Structure 1
Amino acid sequence: MNLAIIDDDFMVCTDCLMIIANDDATGLDYSLGEDEAEAREREIREAIAEIQREQGQIAVGDSDKDDVFSAGPCACCGTRLAGARHHCVILGSDREW
């Protein structure tokens, strides 16, 4: 089975990018208390798992397509906090397309 890009416009917040790219949520500790950071990490990991179950594998995309400031929601966790959005892609079986 080959993977193909099935969504090339998947823009995520910095919190989600840390976990997608490095499976690392330690950056949440800098801006949130311990309980809040744990809840935020759980929220993000659940969103990633749901997307990957329903759509396909999320992968880091092209940093040239990043948006340094956006008021749009994160395509992963749905946060509406304005800030950077990072380009990611969703990969799925090319047999589906």
Structure 2
Amino acid sequence: MATIVDDHFMVCPDCLMIIANDDATGLDHFLDEESAAAREREVRHSIAAAKRDGNTLVVGDSEQDEDLSTASCDCCNTTLAGSRHHCVLMG
């Protein structure tokens, strides 16, 4: 039975896109190809680190999303201000 490790795991849009859909194609919308590939590697590495010890990241409750936050992303630790999306880290 899975248990909740963190019920307020707030992530940036880049992390959310990969957590939710395993899709990083949106990264090249604002970044050149090389920068998008580097950002994708960074995000995927951060997600893998969060999933260590058999944890799973799932998209949470959109009602808990924050439209504008200056808090760092709980996944990749980006400090760029922007939206943060609720996810749940399950163990």
Alpha carbon RMSD of aligned pairs, Å? 1.0
Q: Which residue of 2 aligns with 1:53?
A: 52
Farther-moved stretch of structure 1 (33-42 vs 47-56): 47-56
Partner of 1:63 in structure 2? 62
Is this contact kept in 2: 1:10–1:89, CA < 8 A? Answer: yes
Residues 25-36 of structure 1 aligned to structure 2 (within 5 Å): 25-36=24-35
Q: State the AA in 1 paired with 2:48.
A: A
1:18-97 map, 5 Å: 18-54=17-53, 56-92=55-91
Deviation at 1:54, TM superposition (A): 4.3
Give the Cα separation in 2 of the matches to 1:85 and 1:25. 17
Aligned residue number for residue 95 of structure 1: none
Q: Which blocks of at least 5 consecutive residues in structure 1 are unaligned?
A: 93-97
In 2, are the aligned partners of 1:55 and 1:90 still within 8 Å (CA)?
no
Q: Which runs of 4+ in 1 moved over 4 A?
A: none
For 2:25, the aligned partner's letter is T
Distance 1:52 1:11 in 2: 15
Unaligned runs of 5+ in 2: none
SS in 1 for 2:51: helix
Aligned pairs, number: 91
Question: What is the letter of the counterpart of residue 4 of structure 1?
Answer: T
The percentage of aligned residue pairs carrying the same residue is 58
